[in-house]
Amino acid sequence: MNRLGLTVGTKVGKAFLRNRVRRRLREIYRLHEEELRRGWDLVVVARSRAGEETYQELEAQFLRAAAKLGLVKA
């Protein structure tokens, strides 16, 4: 089982926007959890652009980063 940590700084925007980014990232992880290798602690740091991105863009970036790190099952 993996553990997920999320950090969304104040540069992303006001509280409602930071919470929306957090909810989206948690949902992206939940939907793709079975595709990821087990036994890792993941820490996602949302940068200021994350508040402007659509759900699909965040999802694509998350999967691209996971693949680059070798976390996606073959």
Domain range 3-68, CATH class: alpha beta
Is the pLDDT score of 6 beyond 90?
Answer: yes
pTM: 0.93
Domain boundaries along the sequence of the chain: 3-68
Distance in angstroms (rounded) separating the CA atoms of residues 73 and 20: 28
State pLDDT tens for residues 8-67.
999 999 999 999 999 999 999 999 999 999 999 999 999 999 999 999 999 999 999 999
Tokens of 63: 């999967």
Q: Is the pLDDT of residue 1 over 90?
A: no
pLDDT at 74: 79
Could you tell me how many helices (H) and strands (E) the chain has, helices first?
2, 2
